[in-house]
Amino acid sequence: MDTLAIVILNYNGKRYLEKFLPSVIANAEGFPVYVADSASTDDSVPFLRAHFPSVRLIQLASNEGYAGGYNAALAHVRQQYGGARYYVLPNSDIDVTPGWITPILRLLEANPAIAACQPKIRAYDRPRQFEHAGAAGGFVDYLGYVFCRGRVFATFEDDQGQYDDNRPVFWATGACLFMRAEVFHQTGGFDPAFFAHMEEIDWCWRVQRLGYQVWACGQSVVYHVGGGTLHKSNPRKTYLNYRNSLYMLYKNWSGGGLWGRILFRLVLDGVSSLLFLKEGQWRDVLAIIQAHFAFYGHLPQLRRQRRALRQQQTTEVMLYPRSIVWEYFVEGKKTYRELI
């Protein structure tokens, strides 16, 4: 069994593999590199076979998104290659740096309670600035809205060393997620109903309910292009983010007042729809409406999952107790340090 498996999920990302895979291989520190291809229709597979024979290629039968794709890929790593003690899942549009692996492995080895960890994520096209997907570690407020050290909504901080510490966070980004393999498989992996976006936050919430911890490591840094598979302007991304946020909140909130929170979310999501409408982004408005209907339609399955998770829970998990929407848009608190 390998200590670490580096597993990249690819869907029509040949241009990113061509650009960033050489750096991953060069900085793999002797650990095996896998590419799991989700039935790409570009030339990703022949390109990999021709140019990167050392990469272990996994060909999946269909595109099941980040959640289903990684579930299948990591099962394959376990069954066909003997598995690994840890996985790291860099997006295909991640540019790694020398020494990015060692500090995080050191944390995982020193503390068996850590189930997941992330490096600092900076923007590839703005190298001093934290990137949207995870920044320096994420949190969730009591309504299910997410924010990060280094990024709150559309405010991005420059990395000036303010988050160079190693510390627990609520969620680690799926853009470059290190995981303890045993815990991943023990918990059934990602929820495939999410398809893509926020499945890693849901998983981080679930593992914390079992007593595990999630950390961010300030001694490791990578750069992320972002939107490599689904651009941020695509209404499909809006739909998945709004729907999956509701899925996650319903499944995992174990206290009282759940439906009060859901109704409050309906109001706030309605307000955000008006902001989209003001900008002429009517397709995003439609995506938010569709997300809510999809959530209500999925309630029977979510209810079963909620009951099962409550029965398994061993540890109460604390969310950020105030509304990040209110604090950001009304009180004008734009950075993580203004919130804490």
Domains of the chain, earliest start first:
2-224 (3.90.550.10), 235-339 (no CATH)
pLDDT at 278: 86
Question: Which letter does DSSP use for residue 131 in this model?
Answer: P
Question: Which letter does DSSP use for residue 193 in this model?
Answer: G
pTM of the model as a whole: 0.96
Buried b (16+ CB within 10 A) or exposed e, 7-29: bbbbbbbbebbeebbebbeebbe
In angstroms, the CA 237 to CA 227 distance is 9
CB burial class (10 A; 0-12, 13-18, 19+) of residue 268?
A: middle
What's the pLDDT tens digit per position in 222-233?
999 997 666 667
Q: How confident is the model at residue 25 (pLDDT cuts 50, 70, 90)?
A: very high
In angstroms, the CA 250 to CA 150 distance is 27
Dig out the tokens for 140 from the structure: 């969730």
pLDDT at 81: 95
Mean pLDDT over residues 254-260, rounded? Answer: 92
In this structure, the dihedral spanned by the alpha carbons of residues 301, 306, 307 and 313, taken in order and rounded to 10 degrees, is: 150
Length of the chain: 340
For the chain, the 3-state helix, strand and coil shares in percent, each to the nearest 5, are: 45, 20, 35
Cα 197 to Cα 10, 49, 94, 264, 296, distances in angstroms: 15, 29, 16, 22, 19
Q: Is the pLDDT of residue 299 over 90?
A: yes
What's the pLDDT tens digit per position in 82-112?
999 999 999 999 999 999 999 999 999 999 9
Least confident of 28-37, 144-153, 254-263: 254-263
CB-based contacts of 114, cutoff 8 Å, min separation 6: 107, 108, 180, 212, 213, 214, 215
Q: How confident is the model at residue 279 (pLDDT cuts 50, 70, 90)?
A: confident
What's the pLDDT tens digit per position in 52-63?
999 999 999 999
Least confident of 14-28, 224-238, 297-311: 224-238
